Amino acid sequence: MDDVLSNPAFQAGLAPFLCALVVAGVLRRSHLAGLALAAAFFAVVGLTVGYSFDALTAVRKLVVVVLCFTALVALLPSQLAVSAAVRTALGIAAALAGVWVAWRIIEQRPGLGGAGLLGAAVAAYLMMLMESTLRAATRANAAAAISLVQGITAGLLCVLGASALLAQFGVAIAVASAALLMVQLVGAQGGANGWLTGTLSALILGIVDLLAVLTGSLPWYCLLPCLALPWATHALPVHSWRTAMLGVLAAAVPGAIAVAMAWFGIAPAA
């Protein structure tokens, strides 16, 4: 049994998928179905780093941030209109959280214009990613398709950045998004607003991507295509299996560009 629980495929794949599937199935008629992503994240955390907060590392800070955001979005009204003010507020909250998570790493990075400038860049990236994701994820199916590709992209970037733990987080969100999309397509619930899924995906994967760059050898510019990734599905009515696949494939284009930029960016140092 211990061998199964310590297997990365179970930790980042099967367990998060099953947790997300159960949560999405139970909440399929609720606006809270997007909490399937949080369930998957907490599952992979429990199976890898655990829930000890004696030393607040960047990863443990990320867990705290996701806990707080999950509680926040669960308390927001079901018919929340994602206006410019709401998107800005969520973007600022994500930016502040991201800077807090990565601050110790930021302070140790010389030659990048100082901690203040690097912290501002981290905050700007998270604000733009949140804005991009929430504006594109106007429907639940589209949000799940976007989150699926964001998770795959984050996982691949973390593998290239030599961070196995962060890669597991990305894979967990990807499989959770796949489970959520499956439930929504089968239950015809994809017309609901996808802001909850979009918020959690942008927050978790945005910080994961940044940590992969800050702690590894990935070039910073490989994150730029990630900002365009949500828009790839914006014009597609993701309401059936066929259109869902088209949405995933469309979002995979900027995701593949990000991975290619990371690959070629670290090649000279390999």
Instruction: Look up the domain containing 84 and give its range.
Output: 2-269
pTM for this structure? Answer: 0.91
Q: How far apart are the first and last CA of the chain?
A: 38
Q: What pLDDT does 53 receive?
A: 78
Closest CA to 197 of 9, 8, 20, 4: 20
Query: Which residue has tokens 């990075």?
Result: 109
- DSSP classification of residue 34: G
Q: Which mean pLDDT values do the consecutive 10-residue runs of the chain (270 residues) have?
A: 74 92 89 91 92 86 94 77 83 95 85 76 96 85 90 95 92 95 75 80 96 89 93 69 77 93 70
**Pair 247, 233: CB distance under 8 Å:** yes
Q: Which of 37, 33, 66 is nearest to 175 (CA)?
A: 37
Torsion of CA 266, 220, 41, 93, to 10 degrees: 170
pLDDT, residue 269, reads 42
Do 243 and 236 form a contact (C-beta atoms < 8 A)? Answer: yes
Backbone phi, psi, residue 70, to 5°? -60, -45
Domains contained in the chain, number: 1
Q: Which residues contact 113 (CB under 8 A, 6 or more apart)?
A: none
- CB half-sphere exposure, 207, CA atoms < 13 A: 29
CB 94 within 8 A of CB 126: yes
Q: Cα 224 to the chain's mean position, in Å?
A: 15
Quick one: pLDDT at residue 167? 94
**Token digits of residue 186:** 């089968």
